[in-house]
């Protein structure tokens, strides 16, 4: 690896023209004749976000020599799909904070949020059809179904204290990794007909997505809400067993294991139910502090971050045969950013 990495803002500047075009499409989608739909979409898209998926797709396409303009439509479609999944996630999780601001479901309610999420999927489909490419359409339709299955798997395994490490990775591969893999694959379809390069792009995307998710597992218990854009310990409140929690369940002492068991089996939201019985207390700050202390004592944070670094190394290995351009260099540094970020 290089000693110095390109800052994420520099990567964005490298793609300034393309990202401006994507942003225009995101903030000015095909207008619905229902003003509330447009208002909610603007709430979701105008507050920014990293735009990782458009960046990934554009970098892959340009690193493989693509010179057309379909990467703008595809980048927009990937961001619409990502935003739709966030909308639906927030409803399922009864979340109140996303990217540092009040969630759409908290403002407008679950029903409207779900329906606008569906509308965003239609926006993505509209962008995809502009390419007139059946391989792209079939890739997206297949992958979106698998992502939805990942969401179902996560929901089925809430508060499942017997969740295995293999089951956890199966969930995050489907829930997070596949969207990155699909995005990278679409960029490669635009840039090259070489199946080996397309496979390399897919491998890069999957490894990158898992690395981002592993770091998210750590960030869920660090920083503050204004930095990471959500409440600390949200996964714990929602009953989702992330890798640091699984590590403590396997390596912690009896007290540490009991803290996690108690927190996971508590009822996290009003009127919610859990398999461990009805427990009304919310998870308090002291319990979160105890669990964070158990992460450090058992090495759960170090373990999770080391795995993230391993996946970054896999991502870099995947693109070793890409042409050596500024865009490939940016892909290298995008992977490093996955473990260097604080939100």
Q: What is the mean pLDDT of the chain?
A: 88
**Predicted local distance difference test score (pLDDT) of residue 282:** 55
**Predicted local distance difference test score (pLDDT) of residue 224:** 54
Task: Give mean pLDDT, residues 129-136.
Answer: 92
Task: Give mean pLDDT, residues 175-190.
Answer: 97
Confidence of residue 29 (pLDDT cuts 50, 70, 90): low
Of residues 334 and 220, more confidently modeled? 334
CA distance 207 to 196: 17
**Predicted local distance difference test score (pLDDT) of residue 221:** 85
Q: State pTM to two decimals.
A: 0.90
In this structure, what token pair is assigned to residue 166? 């293999």
- Render pLDDT for 229-248 as a digit per residue (tens, 0 to 9): 456 677 888 889 999 999 99
Q: Which of 143, 136, 137, 128 is nearest to 189 (CA)?
A: 136
Domains located in the chain, CATH noted: 8-327 (1.10.600.10)
Measured between alpha carbons, how far apart are the two ends of the chain, in Å? 23
CA distance 197 to 321: 8
CA distance 242 to 161: 11
What DSSP assignment string belongs to 181-236?
HHHHHHHHHHH---HHHHHHHHHHHHHHHHHHHHHHHHHTTSS-HHHHSS-TTHHH
Confidence of residue 270 (pLDDT cuts 50, 70, 90): very low
**Predicted local distance difference test score (pLDDT) of residue 124:** 92
CA distance 218 to 342: 10
Is the Cβ–Cβ distance between 200 and 328 less than 8 Å?
no
- Render pLDDT for 63-90 as a digit per residue (tens, 0 to 9): 999 999 999 999 999 999 999 998 998 8
Quote the Cα angle for 64-67-73, to 5°.
100
CA distance 148 to 102: 24
**Predicted local distance difference test score (pLDDT) of residue 283:** 66
- Render pLDDT for 48-62 as a digit per residue (tens, 0 to 9): 689 999 999 999 999
Task: Give mean pLDDT, residues 111-125.
Answer: 92
E strands within 223-335?
Answer: none
User: 103-125 in b/e burial notation, b at 16+ Cβ within 10 A?
Assistant: bbbbebebebbbbbbebbbebbb
At residue 182, does pLDDT exceed 50?
Answer: yes
Task: Give mean pLDDT, residues 314-333.
Answer: 97
What own/partner pairs with CB < 8 Å and gap ≥ 24 does 248-256 have?
248/291, 248/294, 248/295, 248/298, 248/300, 249/161, 251/298, 251/299, 251/300, 252/294, 252/297, 252/298, 256/290, 256/291, 256/294, 256/297, 256/298
């Amino acid at each position: 690896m290089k000693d110095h990495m390109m800052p994420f803002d520099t990567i964005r500047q490298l793609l300034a023209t393309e990202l401006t075009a994507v942003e225009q499409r995101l903030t000015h989608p095909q207008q619905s004749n229902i003003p509330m739909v447009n208002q909610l979409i603007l709430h979701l898209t105008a507050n920014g976000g990293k735009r990782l998926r458009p960046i990934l797709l554009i970098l892959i396409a340009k690193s493989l020599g693509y010179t057309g303009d379909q990467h703008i439509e595809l980048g927009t479609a990937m961001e619409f799909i990502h935003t739709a999944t966030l909308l639906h996630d927030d409803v399922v999780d009864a979340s109140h904070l996303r990217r540092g601001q009040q969630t759409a479901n908290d403002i407008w309610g679950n029903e409207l949020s779900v329906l606008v999420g569906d509308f965003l999927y239609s926006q993505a489909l509209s962008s995809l059809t502009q390419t007139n490419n059946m391989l792209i359409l079939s890739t997206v339709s297949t992958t979106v179904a698998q992502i939805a299955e990942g969401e179902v798997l996560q929901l089925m395994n809430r508060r499942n204290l017997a969740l295995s490490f293999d089951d956890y990775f199966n969930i995050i591969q489907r829930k997070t990794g596949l969207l990155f893999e699909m995005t990278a694959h679409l960029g490669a379809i635009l840039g090259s007909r070489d199946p080996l390069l397309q496979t390399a792009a897919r491998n890069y995307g999957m490894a990158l997505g898992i690395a981002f998710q592993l770091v998210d597992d750590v960030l869920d218990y660090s920083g503050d809400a204004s930095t990471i854009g959500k409440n600390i310990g949200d996964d714990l409140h929602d009953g989702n067993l992330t890798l640091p929690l699984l590590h403590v369940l396997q390596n912690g002492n009896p007290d540490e294991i009991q803290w996690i068991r108690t927190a996971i089996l508590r009822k996290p939201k009003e009127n919610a139910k859990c398999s461990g019985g009805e427990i009304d207390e919310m998870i308090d700050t002291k319990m979160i502090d105890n669990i964070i202390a158990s992460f450090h004592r058992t090495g759960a944070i170090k373990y999770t971050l080391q795995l993230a670094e391993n996946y970054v190394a896999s991502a870099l290995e995947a693109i070793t045969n890409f042409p050596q351009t500024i865009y490939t260099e940016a892909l290298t540094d995008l992977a490093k950013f996955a473990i260097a970020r604080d939100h």
